[in-house]
Amino acid sequence: MTKIIVDGVEVDVPAEYTLLQAAEAAGAEIPRFCYHERLSIAGNCRMCLVEVKGAPKPVASCAWGVRDCRPGPNGEPPEISTKSPTVKKAREGVMEFLLINHPLDCPICDQGGQCDLQDQAMAYGVDTSRFHENKRAVTDKYLGPLVRTSMNRCIHCTRCIRFSAEVAGVSDLGALWRGEDMEITSYLEKALGSELQANVADLCPVGALTHKPESYHYRPWELTKTDSVDVMDAVGSSIRVDSRGREVMRILPRVNEAVNEEWITDKTRHIVDGLRLQRLDRPFVRDNGRLRPASWQEAFATIANRVKSTSPQRIGAIVGDLAAVEEMFALKLLMQSLGVTNIDARQDGTVLSSAYGRGSYLFNTTISGIEDADAILIVGSNPRLEASLVNVRIRKRWRVAPPPIALIGEHADLTYPYEYLGAGPETLADLVSGRHSFMEKLRGAERPLIIVGQGALTRPDGLAVLSAAAGLARDVGAVNEGWNGFSILHTAASRVGALDLGLVPGEGGVTAQEMAQGGVDVLFNLGADEIEIAPGAFVVYQGTHGDRGAHRADVILPAATYTEKSGTYVNTEGRVQLANRAAFAPGEAREDWAILRALSDVLGHRLPFDSLNALRAKLYASHPHFAGIEMVQPADGAAAIQALAGIGGNLGREAFVSPVQDFYLTNPIARASGVMAECSALARELKLEAAE
Amino acid sequence: MAVRKLAPEELQPESFVFSPENEAFVDQQIAKYPPGRQASAIIAVLGKAQEQAGGWLPRKAIEAVAARLDMPVIRVMEVATFYTMFNLEPVGKYFIQFCGTTPCMLRGAADIKKVLERRIGDANHIPSNGTFSWLEVECLGACSNAPMVQINDDYYEDLTTENFEKLLDDLEAGRPVRKGSQIGRNRSEPFEAVNTLQDPSLYDGSLVGAWRNRFEEQAKAAETGEAAAALESVPGKAGRPGAGRAIETGAADTPAERAKEGETPINPVDRKEAADPSTATKGKSHTEEGARPAPQSSKSYVTTPSKPEGGSPVPESPTTPEAGTPPAQAETRRDGSESKPDVVVDKDNMTS
């Protein structure tokens, strides 16, 4: 720790801190444009100038280390000033230079009201301009369907370039030409090829890069902000849902160091239009092969008729990927009271089960724990598509000091180099038996991390693969004191919560796949749209969008999406998070738990709660860990891998295939979104081009 | 800087492949850097690609370099567009880079530019025969031989309109031309008579190590207690190992020290010389024109108490001649000797 005096306040900061960080530690505010704590230091905007005692001129505080400051003549701590007249004058000068070429189009600029330049010009600028020269004019660039450009406004901070090269790992953006002619663009104005590209618009301190799908739709001060959590993948990114009236206008990332840092994927951000389109806004009942609008009473009566005439062995329930813990709990209680054991939340057919202990299905290492791993093996997963922000963490780990990283599965571009071991279970078997050189690296590592994806588990030999992976983890000592390197990567937001609740077939029950293929006569489908249900069964679909599940349904109960209800979600690490209601469900659609409660009354098995709070009280009583919001309750990893490793089984020969083939269309909300459809088409094009 | 852009699609070649010898050159360049740092070779490799593609960088060449150096294409584009030495559009067979920076300008680059404009046309434009194209560039570092141009890889210096016209004629006709100075001087030697560095002892080797020998002798003298004598024996300003550094020494000669040793602090002769107006530096002192404030714009947005009427002040007597006056006719000298009144200036640059 080093002492430094900031505006007369002495602070003790690590020597590797920059002056900017030291000033923040001392409570002094430093304006900045190019500096961003998660990107490399560029030092090119010059807005963060401070005065260092003894230095002949102001220095850029973002690029000057505390350890680079000279002490005073008698060994006093170095002294900097952030409020002196020199600093004020320097900032005013920099601001004036930045504004020479910046257009005065704030009234028609989407960044207006949320613009760093606007704010800082108010705080540190002067009120007039001394420049009468013409402003620079730059042609706008095409950067794909998500980022609108208005390059006259660009102040060349290069945050977008640094983000795409460093965090996203896709070097698409660059600065061409030089000096005043410098222009930010992609090579030949190709669309950006990253699933995190929309973050560059968030990073842009001015209005040069804005979000294209939502441009000109709102002003930031009109919006109601609700903190929530994302359900597009199992990462559970922290988001802020901004709504106006009853409509969600945009979704922004929220800083959460443990999960998403401050990035979100394009899917998380831009499914906003999917929340409006294709919505189920009233109950439907199928009559003579056609769905017709009906009242809630009618729909419930139809269901009650069928349920009462069917034996519990022929009733089943499947839970989809976007369900919150509350409605799954309500469904579980309802099915229990009906005496139904056919209940399954694993529509993709994964072999994970609560039977082997909680440690057998969590991402035990935790997402931030990836940064401590010193050898990484990925089995049957493409983390870039299945959990982009987990991939960002692996890349972050790789950038610090490349650990050995290897992959068994699809040979995809993960934005960092890795050793490609093979495509299928045979390679895993080779590795387990020590016939592979990577085994040495795993053995030699102190904190090896083995990530098992759903591509390895949603297959007939999934259990054998899981067992082999667990055996491998045991052999290389992946689970030891203070480190649990056996991690399952989920793709569905509801999955871990469902497994925590034990939503797997009970005694004599059948799995989701068996139910879908005619194992039951009455199937209650809670938003499962990724499974093909064979004709024959009477299907009750409770969901939000007119997707596959609704088309197959005999009764449709319209429900609320994750932005329209308060719900608990557990992410792949086992972190319990709360999604809050930002808007109301359209039409007659209701919150899921309330639908189930009302249905239970009609079925004659009234659920024992009348409010969400009462439901949660019951939930927390039976599953206490759900009460720990934002917390991860660690699981017993050693016991879990011991149990898994003991299962054994024969490994198949087929290659692992990632369950996420089209990143942009993985759930009903995304499939309803026009923006996602456009992105998906573009991604396909890029893929074809790359294949050529 | 002129706005540059990529060549239009119809001029872009279909493909670009490094020739075998250039491929070897690229390998050699990459080998200069540690493994994984192959991107450091980019400038050399782009230069070679430009050479192979006929003096400019087609899009395919940029992509080929990116693939060769395992870099994202945009990174190569950044470098290719940053440096003006990389041409992004086709150039003539003889690509003339004409220096228009101050020294060349003062020595008549404007006339050379007129020749270029008359014979070739606008910069960055290739006439139909494709022989020449030209571009004005910043200083090429041959100022002593100004004005000059670079044609492809070679410098052509000491240009006049006549010899430049002839040079272009010769190039066009394919006749051999003389590289370097066009008036026959050797490199940047004085072009008529050599007056300096003529002492033969400079070249016979007798001075090799002389400087060092002197220090060794001094060190020896100091050891034998004759330091003071040895120092005095060195005439003039003695160079010493610690030259320029503050080293404690008794030989300092300041008024204070002289006073301490009982001498007159300031030699009356020195004082008289310093006060002599004829030897004083003839820089225009501010008091001459009366106290006048620093130039200030009337548009300044900070209130200045001492704002002169009518904006920027103009001195009564111009210190610089009007623009366009040929140096020889200017009343004041502008050769840097203004402040050295006793130096005889030869306006025609004709040293006796």
Give the 3-state secondary structure of A186-209: EHHHCCCCCCCCCHHHHHCCCCCE
Predicted confidence at residue A434, as pLDDT, reads 80
A2 min Cα distance to partner chain B (Å): 32
Q: Do the Cβ atoms of B78 and A172 come within 8 Å?
A: no
CB contacts < 8 A, A to B, total 40
* Residues B196, A607: Cα–Cα separation, whole Å: 109
pLDDT bin (cut points 50, 70, 90) of residue A292 is very high
Per-residue model confidence as pLDDT tens digits over A141-190: 888 889 999 999 999 999 999 999 999 988 889 998 888 888 898 888 88
Q: Which of A357, A69, A119 is nearest to A220 (CA)?
A: A119
* Residues A627, A493: Cα–Cα separation, whole Å: 18
Q: Do the Cβ atoms of B300 and A130 come within 8 Å?
A: yes
Using the 8-state DSSP alphabet, how is residue B301 labeled? Answer: S
Q: Which of B278, B285, B276 is nearest to B341 (CA)?
A: B278
B75 neighbourhood in chain A, CB within 8 Å: 171, 174
Cβ–Cβ under 8 Å, residues A543 and A347? no
Predicted confidence at residue B228, as pLDDT, reads 53
* Residues B47, B58: Cα–Cα separation, whole Å: 12
Examine residue A383 and say whether the peptide bond preceding it is cis (omega within 30 degrees of 0): no
Predicted confidence at residue A650, as pLDDT, reads 83
Q: For B33, phi and psi rounded to 5 degrees?
A: -110, 160
Nearest to B74 among A173, A179, A181 (CB): A173
Nearest to A176 among B1, B77, B297 (CB): B77
* Residues A596, A543: Cα–Cα separation, whole Å: 12
A171 neighbourhood in chain B, CB within 8 Å: 72, 74-75
* Residues A87, A81: Cα–Cα separation, whole Å: 8
Using the 8-state DSSP alphabet, how is residue A370 labeled? Answer: G
CA angle (A388 as vertex; A385, A392 as ends), nearest 5: 135
Q: Which of A658, A646, A633 is nearest to A496 (CA)?
A: A633
Q: Do the Cβ atoms of B301 and A128 come within 8 Å?
A: yes
CATH number given to B9-82: 1.10.10.1590
Residues 6+ apart with CB under 8 A from A561: A275, A322, A544, A585, A669
Cβ–Cβ under 8 Å, residues A663 and A608? no
| Token representation of residue A298 | 């009618």
Predicted confidence at residue B310, as pLDDT, reads 44
Q: Which of B71, B81, B82 to mutate to test the interface with A (most CBs of A within 10 A)?
A: B81
From residue A568, alpha-carbon distances to A253, A357, A628 in Å are: 18, 21, 11
Q: Do the Cβ atoms of A126 and B301 come within 8 Å?
A: yes
Q: Which of A66, A58, A61, A141 is nearest to A93 (CA)?
A: A58
Sign of CA dihedral A309, A314, A319, A325: positive
Per-residue model confidence as pLDDT tens digits over A592-632: 999 999 999 998 888 898 999 999 999 999 999 898 888 88
Predicted confidence at residue B283, as pLDDT, reads 39
| Token representation of residue A584 | 């109301």
* Residues A272, A672: Cα–Cα separation, whole Å: 10
CA angle (A320 as vertex; A315, A325 as ends), nearest 5: 95
pLDDT bin (cut points 50, 70, 90) of residue B259 is low
Local structure of A402: helix, strand or coil: coil
Cβ–Cβ under 8 Å, residues B42 and B76? yes
Closest-CA residue of A relative to B62 is A187
A188 neighbourhood in chain B, CB within 8 Å: 59
Sheet holding A284-287, edge to edge: A290-293, A284-287, A555-558, A538-543, A522-526, A315-319, A342-344
Predicted confidence at residue B297, as pLDDT, reads 46
B81 neighbourhood in chain A, CB within 8 Å: 176-178
Closest-CA residue of B relative to A186 is B74
Give residue limits of the domains in chain B: 9-82, 94-181
A178 neighbourhood in chain B, CB within 8 Å: 1, 81-82
A192 neighbourhood in chain B, CB within 8 Å: none
Q: Do the Cβ atoms of A178 and B82 come within 8 Å?
A: yes
Q: Do the Cβ atoms of A177 and B301 come within 8 Å?
A: no
Q: Which of B71, B74, B81 to mutate to test the interface with A (most CBs of A within 10 A)?
A: B74
pLDDT bin (cut points 50, 70, 90) of residue B348 is low
Q: Do the Cβ atoms of A178 and B81 come within 8 Å?
A: yes
* Residues A42, A564: Cα–Cα separation, whole Å: 41
- Name the more confident of B79 and B230: B79
* Residues A209, A202: Cα–Cα separation, whole Å: 8
* Residues A211, A194: Cα–Cα separation, whole Å: 15
| Token representation of residue A337 | 């009271």
Local structure of B233: helix, strand or coil: helix
Predicted confidence at residue B260, as pLDDT, reads 58
ipTM over 0.95: no
Give the rounded distance of the alpha carbon of A609 from its chain centre: 32
pTM: 0.79
Cβ–Cβ under 8 Å, residues A401 and A372? no
Sheet holding A79-81, edge to edge: A9-13, A2-6, A79-81, A49-52, A59-60
Radius of gyration of chain A (CA): 28
Q: Do the Cβ atoms of A175 and B75 come within 8 Å?
A: no
Q: Which of A470, A510, A473 is nearest to A349 (CA)?
A: A510
Sign of CA dihedral A32, A37, A38, A44: positive
Cβ–Cβ under 8 Å, residues B170 and B179? no
pLDDT bin (cut points 50, 70, 90) of residue A240 is very high
Q: Which of A177, A398, A415 to mutate to test the interface with B (most CBs of B within 10 A)?
A: A177
In percent, the amount of chain A with pLDDT more than 90 equals: 37
A523 min Cα distance to partner chain B (Å): 52
The mean-pLDDT minimum among A309-318, A505-514, A650-659, B275-284 falls in B275-284
A130, A131, A132, A136: CA torsion to nearest 10: -160
The mean-pLDDT minimum among A454-463, A551-560, B124-133 falls in B124-133
| Mean pLDDT for chain B overall | 72
Cβ–Cβ under 8 Å, residues A487 and A227? no
What is the DSSP secondary-structure string of B22-60? HHHHHHHHHHTS-TT-GGGGHHHHHHHHHHHTTSS--HH
* Residues A384, A186: Cα–Cα separation, whole Å: 21
Chain A contact residues (CB < 8 Å to B): 126, 128, 130, 165, 171-181, 186-188
* CATH among 3.40.30.10, 3.30.56.10, 3.40.50.2020, 3.30.110.40 for B94-181: 3.40.30.10
pLDDT bin (cut points 50, 70, 90) of residue A128 is confident
Question: How crowded is residue B278: how many other Cβ atoms within 10 Å of its Cβ?
Answer: 7
Q: Which of A200, A55, A207, A24 is nearest to A121 (CA)?
A: A207
Once rounded to an integer, what is the mean pLDDT over residues B249-278?
Answer: 54
Once rounded to an integer, what is the mean pLDDT over residues A108-135?
Answer: 87
Has residue A241 got a pLDDT over 90? yes
The mean-pLDDT minimum among A73-77, A194-198, B55-59, B297-301 falls in B297-301
The mean-pLDDT minimum among A150-164, A265-279, A333-347, A645-659 falls in A645-659
Once rounded to an integer, what is the mean pLDDT over residues A392-410?
Answer: 91
Has residue B299 got a pLDDT over 50? no
A191 neighbourhood in chain B, CB within 8 Å: none
Predicted confidence at residue A75, as pLDDT, reads 83
| Mean pLDDT for chain A overall | 89
* Residues A399, A393: Cα–Cα separation, whole Å: 10
A428 min Cα distance to partner chain B (Å): 30
Question: How crowded is residue A130: how many other Cβ atoms within 10 Å of its Cβ?
Answer: 11
Predicted confidence at residue A620, as pLDDT, reads 92
Q: Which of A187, A188, A192 to mutate to test the interface with B (most CBs of B within 10 A)?
A: A187
Predicted confidence at residue A631, as pLDDT, reads 86
| Token representation of residue A388 | 């982009």
| Token representation of residue A425 | 């279970």
Predicted confidence at residue B346, as pLDDT, reads 47
pLDDT bin (cut points 50, 70, 90) of residue A580 is very high
- Which amino acid, one-letter code, is at A354? S
Give the rounded distance of the alpha carbon of A563 from its chain centre: 15
Nearest to A181 among B1, B59, B297 (CB): B1
From residue B94, alpha-carbon distances to B97, B147, B151 in Å are: 10, 18, 6
Element (H, E) at A455: none
pLDDT bin (cut points 50, 70, 90) of residue B258 is low
Sheet holding A419-422, edge to edge: A419-422, A405-408, A375-379, A448-453, A486-489
Strand segments, DSSP code E, in A27-124 are 49-52, 59-60, 79-81
Predicted confidence at residue B308, as pLDDT, reads 44
Q: Which of A320, A298, A319 is nearest to A598 (CA)?
A: A298
pLDDT bin (cut points 50, 70, 90) of residue A226 is very high
Once rounded to an integer, what is the mean pLDDT over residues A316-333?
Answer: 91
Maximum C-alpha span of chain A: 94
Predicted confidence at residue B302, as pLDDT, reads 43
Predicted confidence at residue B233, as pLDDT, reads 52
* Residues A638, B215: Cα–Cα separation, whole Å: 77
Predicted confidence at residue B287, as pLDDT, reads 41
* Residues A357, B91: Cα–Cα separation, whole Å: 72
Closest-CA residue of B relative to A189 is B74
From residue A31, alpha-carbon distances to A12, A34, A86, A124, A245 in Å are: 22, 10, 15, 8, 34
Predicted confidence at residue A428, as pLDDT, reads 86
What is the DSSP secondary-structure string of B316-347? SS-SSPPTT--GGG-SS--SS-TT-TTSPP-T
According to DSSP, the residues that pair with A420 across neighbouring strands are A407
pLDDT bin (cut points 50, 70, 90) of residue B247 is very low
A43 min Cα distance to partner chain B (Å): 19
Residues 6+ apart with CB under 8 A from A161: A173, A174, A175, A184
B75 min Cα distance to partner chain A (Å): 7
Has residue B307 got a pLDDT over 50? no
Closest-CA residue of A relative to B77 is A176
Angle between helices B42-52 and B20-31 (to 10 degrees): 170
Predicted confidence at residue A489, as pLDDT, reads 92
Q: Do the Cβ atoms of B81 and A172 come within 8 Å?
A: no
Give the rounded distance of the alpha carbon of B325 from its chain centre: 24
Per-residue model confidence as pLDDT tens digits over B319-333: 444 555 454 454 444
